[in-house]
Structure 1
Amino acid sequence: MHSDNSIRLFWLLLCVFCALTDTTNKVLGPEVTIRELEITSKVAFRYADVVVRSLAVNTRSHAQEVTFEVKLPKEAFITSFLLVTNNKTIKAVIKEKDEAEKEYRKAKTAHVIAGHVTQQEVRDDVDIDVFEVVVNVAANADVEFRLEYEELLQRHAGKYSQKLFIESDHIIEKLQVRCEFKDKQKFKMLTYKTPFYTERVHVVYNKGMVTKNGYYFNEIEWKPSKREQENADKKLESPFEIEYELEVNKRGGMVLINEKGEFTHMFSAPCDESKIMMKQIVFVIDISGSMDGNPIEQVKEAMTSILSRLRTHDFFNIILFDDNTIMWKSTFQQATSLNVKAAKYFVEKSVKADGSTNINEALLLAVDMFDKELPADMNGNLGKIIVFLTDGSPTYGETDTTAIRRNIRARNYLNGQICCKSSINTIAFGRYADMDFLRVIAYEHEGILTIIKETESNVAGELVKIYKDIENPFYKNLVFTYQVNDQLLPRNNITQTQFLQYDCGNEIVVSGWTYPKVPIRPTVKADGAQNEIAFKSVPTVLILHDDSVILSRLVAYKRVKLLLKEAETTLYPARRETANKMALELSLKFGFVTPMTSLVVTDYSKSSTKDYIIARNGDSFKSAISNPVHILLCLYLYFLV
């Protein structure tokens, strides 16, 4: 998300100016408080719809500024925003960026209340999106904010997790978090952790209540009193965190389909230690000068823990790089206790920060390792994984990131066309890592980008957590097909049909669309540790009524994500243009704020033309009349593009 070229970060400024008084831009005082904060999350088949509502009150006799800030998961799409103040409701509308600009100019010419979205490059190391609104609240008045967003919860190491961000430096009179979870699979476990405690609170270890529609249902409600907030050891600084597990069947997951023919396949498999593949894994570690000090020591600590987690039937190697590359061994080594001990010694003695950053040479060397002849005792299918960590961008050797991408694809793609010999999982360490480049490398090679903040207190723990997510390769070369009316559904109707590798703690989510009210027959074929596996009786569940709408939005969400990914990774301009156009159409249809769309606010009410003067950010403006209400909305959205 960030880089030496700065992070691709969408700073969306929505500025709404009402007629100003002399009290604008005052410092927020204790007389302006957040009286109410309510977060309502409804999760249906892993797809979350979250509404954040906040009520701020100004008890002073003059206007005061109040800030409304919501942190969002990086994978979320905002779907709506509105505020209510002075008996007026102002609602944002999602439009294509050029249309938003035209709407803004039209409103500005008419002297009505208006605001629109712009974007800027801003460097930051936070792996979240931030929505912030600053409002000057009239004397003895209040303002209500409502923000809604949607996201698909991810499964990592067997658990789904959700973070709801709550931050306040004072007691909130009415604070409430309410979460509902329903699914067609039974719950094994559900826990939550409040901002006040470091330990998780046990909730349930049963299947969940069964609803009349055949869902397994669980809920959480947290309403800390003022006294509880006063007596808490920690303030409202950490997120409200939820984790849950679902029972996993052995039949290839589950397909959910509605009467319109839209479907989503949630594929997972239970972990069986005897069926986990042996793996070849290469750790590629940046030891350039910028890693000096605490970062390099944290990497050493993490590698010691990760090497200890290797199974004895795994094979591994380590590549260190600055201007040059240093290989621990010329070939893969089995993870015997003797070899693991030797590797730890190598890390301790050789991991020293110095020099520049030769990313191209290091990654090509790692990819080429998988072309070498396998040891005689490496039987069966193998998981093939590269873990690449850097805190910067290429500064030595080949420094053009597009050229590096082409070089790696030429080596790692089969015949230069089909992904891949090995997955490449990238780790961006700190704010100066080239997030855009690392994200695309991961996308292009069936890997995952993980961002570790400079301020992270437990970097070693985070690195070990990343490794846990990829340490159990279970299937390779997965192919998903769907048969309708005795014919295979075209690939263009499916978000993705082939996957290089599956780790048994994770989940593959495939969405698509077919004819209305027609049965679908899914099949998944894959290579297991010793033989080919075929799932031909995947359970299919019909989703009806309001839940059908949720499923439609989930399918659209997956399609937009895939199109944005395709637009970013393709090397062909025509394909990029097509993907962006399709992503825009879906974003507008379903109301998603994405890199292709903008939020715009206009108010053509009768009073607005005489009560409000509009000014864009950076323009000069003056108050036309002494109106007590001044609203300045500053909306910051940080997107992983």
Structure 2
Amino acid sequence: MNSGIGKEILCESSSHPLKETSRSVGSLGFLYESEVRAWSMNDFSFSYKVHSSEILGRVLLNSPSMLDFDQREMFCFYLYPPTVNTMKVFRKQVVYVVDISASMQGRPLENVKVALQAALSKLSPADSFNVIAFNGKSLLFSSSMVPVGKESIGKAAQWIDQNFVAEGSTNISLPLNQAIEMLLNDGDSIPLVFLITDGSVEDEREICEALRGQLMKRGLSAPRISTFGIGLYCNHYFLQMLAQIGRGYYDAAYDLDSISSRLERLLNGTSSVILADLKIEALENLNSFELYPCYLPDLLSSRPLIVSGRFIGTCPDSVKVSGTLEDSSNFVVDVKVQKAKDFPLERVFARRQIEAITVNAWFSGSKQLEEMVVKLSMQTGVPSEYTNLIFVENKKEKQTSKLEAVDEKASDQLNVKKIIYLRALGVGFGNLKATADNLPVEAAEPKLHETSEMVFAAASSLCGKLCDTCCCMCFIQFCSRFNDRCAVTLAQLCTALACFECFSFCCEVCGECN
């Protein structure tokens, strides 16, 4: 691990036991010693801080390789907040916009209520807030912003318990506009909007377009918009676009168990702004300059600010970064520019760049941007919405199968004997029908048979004999609408048959390896 800043790294927590193998100023090395058979099935997480009493930053440069389809120079810009609480956070005006449509019934809405009430309890007495619940219509806790106090927080908690009832459809435009109109920046506070939803709507592009024009008119005093998506039915790229336009942050929970913790982290973390209205002066004067994300968010006390991008031109040895502090004074810091010797920027930020370009491709409908995502995905090996991961067995004898990222449209042109598609790794662009039908969040969570799509593909020849017009997956889902026991029985039967076929396939591969 290399912070790139040349300052001491403070390790905070790790989900797995790690052995420290090396330590120097600004970098650490660790080893996970468990044998492969004893590896944990839990997600790996590691948190750290860079020790400093002031704001630190750096710009890292990297030249593209000869095989890179984009020959523009790469850069990474980051700012670390001080670990010592020497800087005051901005006073806040916060509006929480929460989806209470019928699909939020049960655990999703209960988890949101827990996180929201925890966030309300942590607001400062100098802040003000409001809550808007929406489905086909909107319900307001108050017609105007409410000062934070023990009595107002108590009333808000009681109002949430009474009015957060999951029913109706989904209309995002109305409550979002109400929240923005309610926030009037008075100069020494940060207006914040948090949108929480599990659904997708038809007018998403129109919402983004109207919002962009509205926020541009209000300039630097425009509200910051952060978004949180729940499940796989909402359009996460729409929510990312909203967060980019609103210079806010985005997060998501794809399973019920992580909703409360991830939402509470977003609500609390993005509320601690210490430096607002950031500008990178020198980079903006380059011949060509592309930033991911396209707008700079504020610097928070709880996390570093990291953006990456491409440019054409000559970058100076240092750049000036300016912003506004809590007391409305101007803040300027000189950030050193250096070549990234030990940082493969094209690999480190591949996922960030792919998601940013995909967001813009969705918003603009640009086929050119989609093709750029495909090229970047193929080049870096990072899956995208427009590419699939597949197993390919070549026609050449005694050559094992291998994993490749390929364009889905070009897969039928490969000179191969066998192609096995893995389950799609993208999150998709929302599901309007599921939202209109108010399907619950858990209905979209991956099922056991869905996570083994490769196994079913191996047994597709057997399934094809049973049904020429639909695969076993479709047949199981069809039957599940009539009888759950029938679906379970068929799933077990097909899984058993698939395992026999997959075992035969694995024997062939292992035989070739030997």
TM-score (norm 1): 0.55
Alpha-carbon deviation of 1:591?
A: 5.0
| Structure 2 residue 347 is matched with structure 1 residue 565 | no
Look up the SS of the partner of 2:266 in the other structure. helix
Contact kept, 8 Å, 1:287 with 1:351, in 2: the verdict is yes
Distance 2:213 2:326 in 1: 27
Give the one of 408, 411, 415 matched to 2:217: 415
> Does the C-alpha gap of structure 1 residues 356 and 44 become closer, same or farther in structure 2, counting only changes over 3 Å?
same
| Structure 2 residue 58 is matched with structure 1 residue 254 | yes
Contact kept, 8 Å, 1:419 with 1:445, in 2: the verdict is no
Whichever residue aligns with residue 261 of structure 2, its letter is G
Contact kept, 8 Å, 1:324 with 1:358, in 2: the verdict is yes
Partner of 2:330: 533
Give the one of 27, 31, 37 matched to 1:220: 31
Contact kept, 8 Å, 1:587 with 1:594, in 2: the verdict is yes
Partner of 2:198: 391
Question: 1:466-485 maps to which residues of 2 (within 5 A)?
Answer: 466-482=266-282
| Structure 2 residue 209 is matched with structure 1 residue 209 | no
Alpha-carbon deviation of 1:216?
A: 2.0
Partner of 2:300: 503
> Does the C-alpha gap of structure 1 residues 405 and 581 become closer, same or farther in structure 2, counting only changes over 3 Å?
same
Partner of 1:264: 76
Q: Note the alpha carbon deviations across 1:234-265, whole angstroms, 9 max, x for none.
A: x9442233333333462541222357864322
Contact kept, 8 Å, 2:61 with 2:337, in 1: the verdict is yes
Partner of 2:434: none
Distance 1:516 1:406 in 2: 31
Alpha-carbon deviation of 1:307?
A: 1.0
Alpha-carbon deviation of 1:317?
A: 0.5
Partner of 1:301: 114
Distance 2:106 2:398 in 1: 60
Distance 2:135 2:350 in 1: 43
Q: Note the alpha carbon deviations across 1:194-251, whole angstroms, 9 max, x for none.
A: 3xxxxxx5877xx9612xxx7522212221597xx5xxxxx94422333333334625
Distance 1:474 1:556 in 2: 29
Whichever residue aligns with residue 580 of structure 1, its letter is E
Distance 1:369 1:304 in 2: 21
> Does the C-alpha gap of structure 1 residues 283 and 607 become closer, same or farther in structure 2, counting only changes over 3 Å?
closer
Q: Note the alpha carbon deviations across 1:48-76, whole angstroms, 9 max, x for none.
A: xxxxxxxxxxxxxxxxxxxxxxxxxxxxx
Identity among equivalent positions (%) equals: 20
Whichever residue aligns with residue 256 of structure 1, its letter is L
Alpha-carbon deviation of 1:431?
A: 4.0
For structure 2, the 5+ residue unaligned runs are: 65-72, 400-407, 409-416, 429-514
Alpha-carbon deviation of 1:494?
A: 5.1
Give the one of 28, 39, 44 matched to 1:240: 44
> Does the C-alpha gap of structure 1 residues 429 and 509 become closer, same or farther in structure 2, counting only changes over 3 Å?
closer
Q: Note the alpha carbon deviations across 1:162-211, whole angstroms, 9 max, x for none.
A: xxxxxxxxxxxxxxxxxxxx8744211154223xxxxxx5877xx9612x
Distance 2:207 2:295 in 1: 25
Partner of 1:83: none
For structure 1, the 5+ residue unaligned runs are: 1-42, 46-181, 195-200, 230-234, 609-616, 618-629
Contact kept, 8 Å, 1:556 with 1:590, in 2: the verdict is yes
Q: Note the alpha carbon deviations across 1:104-149, whole angstroms, 9 max, x for none.
A: xxxxxxxxxxxxxxxxxxxxxxxxxxxxxxxxxxxxxxxxxxxxxx
Distance 2:239 2:355 in 1: 17
Question: 1:597-612 maps to which residues of 2 (within 5 A)?
Answer: 597=387, 601=392, 603=394, 605=396
> Does the C-alpha gap of structure 1 residues 255 and 352 become closer, same or farther in structure 2, counting only changes over 3 Å?
same
Partner of 1:325: 138
Contact kept, 8 Å, 2:289 with 2:311, in 1: the verdict is no
Contact kept, 8 Å, 2:94 with 2:192, in 1: the verdict is yes
Q: Note the alpha carbon deviations across 1:375-417, whole angstroms, 9 max, x for none.
A: xxx6x432221111223334xxxx5333333443444x2239x
Contact kept, 8 Å, 2:393 with 2:418, in 1: the verdict is no
Give the one of 352, 374, 398 matched to 2:165: 352
Contact kept, 8 Å, 1:381 with 1:527, in 2: the verdict is no
| Structure 2 residue 190 is matched with structure 1 residue 403 | no
Alpha-carbon deviation of 1:279?
A: 0.9
Contact kept, 8 Å, 1:183 with 1:216, in 2: the verdict is no
Partner of 1:464: 264
> Does the C-alpha gap of structure 1 residues 186 and 259 become closer, same or farther in structure 2, counting only changes over 3 Å?
farther
Alpha-carbon deviation of 1:513?
A: 5.5
Distance 1:510 1:294 in 2: 35
Alpha-carbon deviation of 1:314?
A: 1.2
Give the one of 93, 97, 112 matched to 1:284: 97
Give the one of 320, 323, 337 matched to 1:523: 320
Alpha-carbon deviation of 1:517?
A: 9.2
Give the one of 361, 365, 369 matched to 1:579: 369
Distance 2:107 2:278 in 1: 40
Deviates more, 1:527-536 or 1:318-327: 527-536
Distance 2:383 2:129 in 1: 42
> Does the C-alpha gap of structure 1 residues 202 and 335 become closer, same or farther in structure 2, counting only changes over 3 Å?
farther
Size of the aligned set, in residue pairs, is: 402
Backbone CA RMSD of aligned residues:
3.8
Question: 1:584-595 maps to which residues of 2 (within 5 A)?
Answer: 584-590=374-380, 592-595=382-385
TM-score (norm 2): 0.67
Alpha-carbon deviation of 1:282?
A: 0.3
Look up the SS of the partner of 2:103 in the other structure. helix
| Structure 2 residue 239 is matched with structure 1 residue 438 | yes
Distance 1:540 1:460 in 2: 39
Q: Note the alpha carbon deviations across 1:259-288, whole angstroms, 9 max, x for none.
A: 786432222222636520011110111222
Whichever residue aligns with residue 394 of structure 2, its letter is D
Distance 2:94 2:132 in 1: 11
> Does the C-alpha gap of structure 1 residues 475 and 281 become closer, same or farther in structure 2, counting only changes over 3 Å?
same
Give the one of 202, 212, 225 matched to 1:424: 225
Give the one of 145, 149, 155 matched to 1:336: 149
Distance 2:349 2:309 in 1: 7
Whichever residue aligns with residue 220 of structure 1, its letter is L
Higher strand share: 1
Distance 2:45 2:230 in 1: 24
